Amino acid sequence: MDFYCLFCCVTVIFFKEFHARLSAGFFGLNHQKSSTPMLNIQAPLPQDLPAFFLTLCLVLLFVLLAELLTKKFSISSLVVRKIIHFCLGVVVFFVPSYFQSSFYPALTALVFLLFNALNIRFKWFGSLLALSEDNNLQSPAVKSYGSLFFPLIFLLQILFLWESHKWILQTSMLVMGVSDSLAALVGSSVGKKHIEHLTKNPKTVEGSLTMFFSSFILLSATLMLFSKDFTGGLTGKSLLMLVALALLLAVVSTAVEALLSHGLDNFFIPLSIAYALYVLEMNHTILLERFLLGGLFAFLLAVFSIKVKFLNNSGATATFLLGTTIFGIGGMAWTVPLLTFYLLSSVLSKLGKKRKAKFDLVFEKGSQRDAGQVYANGGIAWILMVIFSLTNNPAVFFAYLGTLAAVQADTWATEIGTMWPNPKAWLVTSFKQVPVGTSGGVSVPGTSGAFLGSLFICASAMLVNVKWLSDFGILQSFLLIGFSGLLASLVDSFFGATVQAQYFDPIREKVTERTHSITEDGLLVENRLIKGTPFVNNDLVNTLCALSGSALAYMVIENVHLFH
Query: 3-state class of 427 per DSSP?
Result: strand
Please state, in angstroms and rounded to a whole number, the distance separating the CA atoms of residues 62 and 407.
48
Beta strands across the sheet bearing 433-434: 433-434, 425-427, 441-442
Sequence-ordered alpha helix ranges (H) in 162-312: 166-174, 180-189, 205-225, 239-259, 265-282, 288-307
CA-CA distance, 144 to 180, in Å (whole number)? Answer: 14
Cα(36)–Cα(25) distance, rounded to whole angstroms?
10
Quick count: other Cβ atoms within 10 Å of Cβ 349? Answer: 18
Distance between CA atoms of 273 and 257, rounded to whole angstroms?
Answer: 12
Q: How far apart are CA 321 and CA 299, in angstroms?
A: 9
* Per-block mean pLDDT, blocks of 10 residues, the chain (564 long): 43 44 40 45 90 93 89 85 92 93 95 92 81 37 78 95 93 96 91 80 90 98 95 93 98 95 92 96 92 97 91 93 96 95 84 59 60 92 95 95 96 83 82 79 90 96 94 96 96 90 81 77 81 87 95 94 73
Distance between CA atoms of 56 and 348, rounded to whole angstroms?
58
pLDDT attached to residue 34: 38
Of 271, 483, 519, 256, nearest to 371 by C-alpha is: 256
Distance CA 171, CA 345 (A): 39
Report the Cα 167 to chain-centroid distance in Å.
24
Reference 322, options 404, 393, 211, 223; nearest CA is: 404
DSSP alpha helix (H) spans, 499-537: none
Residue among 527, 523, 522 at smallest CA distance from 511:
527
Residue pair 527/504 in contact (Cβ under 8 Å)? The answer is: yes
Strands (E), 394-436: 425-427, 433-434
Cα gap 280→451, rounded to integer Å:
37
One-letter amino acid of 83: I
**How many CB atoms neighbour CB 344 within 10 A?**
18
Residue 353: Cβ within 10 Å count: 12
Question: What is the pLDDT at residue 358?
Answer: 58
Q: What angle do CA 138, 141, 142 make, to 5 degrees?
A: 75
226 phi and psi, to 5 degrees?
-95, 10
Residue 339 buriedness (CB in 10 A; 0-12 / 13-18 / 19+): middle
Helix (H) or strand (E) holding 457: helix 444-463
Strand runs (DSSP E) across 336-450, as ranges?
425-427, 433-434, 441-442
At residue 456's C-alpha, the angle toward residues 454 and 460, to 5°, is 125
Residue 205's nearest CA partner among 252, 260, 257 is 257
**Residue 284: what pLDDT?**
87
Length of the chain: 564
> In sequence order, what are the beta bridge partners of 503?
512, 529
Q: Residue 69 corresponds to which amino acid?
A: L
Residue 261 phi/psi, 5° resolution? Answer: -135, -175
Beta bridge partners of 529: 503
Nearest to 529 by CA among 500, 496, 498, 502: 502
Strands 528-531 and 502-505 turn out to be antiparallel
pLDDT of residue 355: 59
